[in-house]
Amino acid sequence: MENFAADRRIFADLLSFKPNRHTLGGASYLIVATPDNGLRGNWLIDCPAFVEENCTLIEGVGGIGAIFLTHRGAMGQVEEFCRHFRAAVRIHEQEAYLVKAREVEVRAFDGDCELDAGLSALWTPGHSPGSSCLLWQAHGGVLFSGRHLLPTSDGGAMPVRVGRTFHWPRQLASVERLGAYSYRHICPGAATGLLRSRRTIVVEP
């Protein structure tokens, strides 16, 4: 864990990676399993660049047990990560077909479900058909939003309609549904430069 630069560490058991050009500047994160959080293995949320630096750092904290993909645009070099770390992919069933390598284990879900201790997938369609958030109950609640919610310059979060948006009204409905859940932090899947010195988007009570 100490091998990660200080600006990559969000919490003692949560790390971030530099934006990945293979996913149009997408952000990615690694939850590290510890006795305190009770996870069965490490979780990679979306894919950083598959380069030696990142692989060495991941190996230094125990590898990857599973990869959670928030949407189809966050795959990047997911097949290379799966082969190297022998990790399974968790992705919504509407986009699972896009992981094409036969040797990669894909475990699709069709709606909200629990994946690990205190870790739940929330299906939030709109940005893409299978767009999903990952909710982690640690640290007051951490929502990994992918491109479903992105940071604003004033420290907030909002949905953003882009040319690739699948269904805007459905995305807005998914955002409204997230109001039923409790979380203190949002880790967005892009535009992390807007966070500046902040590690996450902090949700005020």
Q: Measured between alpha carbons, how far is residue 187 from residues 82, 85, 127, 137, 194 in Å?
A: 23, 24, 16, 13, 12
Query: Cα(101)–Cα(79) distance, rounded to whole angstroms?
Result: 7
Could you tell me if residue 1 is inside a domain? Answer: no
Query: Cα(113)–Cα(75) distance, rounded to whole angstroms?
Result: 21
Containing domain of residue 29, as a range?
A: 6-202
Question: Vertex 137, ends 133 and 138: CA angle to 5°?
Answer: 120
Give the domain CATH number at 33: 3.60.15.10
- Sign of the alpha-carbon torsion through 110, 162, 9, 3: positive
Two structure tokens written together for 24: 């149009």
Local confidence band at 4 (pLDDT 50, 70, 90 cut-offs):
low
Residue at token pair 């986009």: 95
- pTM to 2 decimals? 0.95
Local confidence band at 198 (pLDDT 50, 70, 90 cut-offs):
confident
What mean pLDDT comes out for the span 116-121? 98
Number of domains in the chain: 1
Local confidence band at 2 (pLDDT 50, 70, 90 cut-offs):
low
Of 170 and 100, the one with more pLDDT: 170
- Sequence-distant (6+) residues with CB within 8 A of 189 are 26, 27, 28, 46, 70, 71, 74, 144, 145, 146, 147, 148, 150
What mean pLDDT comes out for the span 4-20? 87
Could you tell me if residue 23 is inside a domain? Answer: yes
Amino acid found at 109: F
Per residue in 72-113, pLDDT (tens digit) is: 999 999 999 999 999 999 999 999 999 988 899 999 999 999
Query: Cα(27)–Cα(19) distance, rounded to whole angstroms?
Result: 5
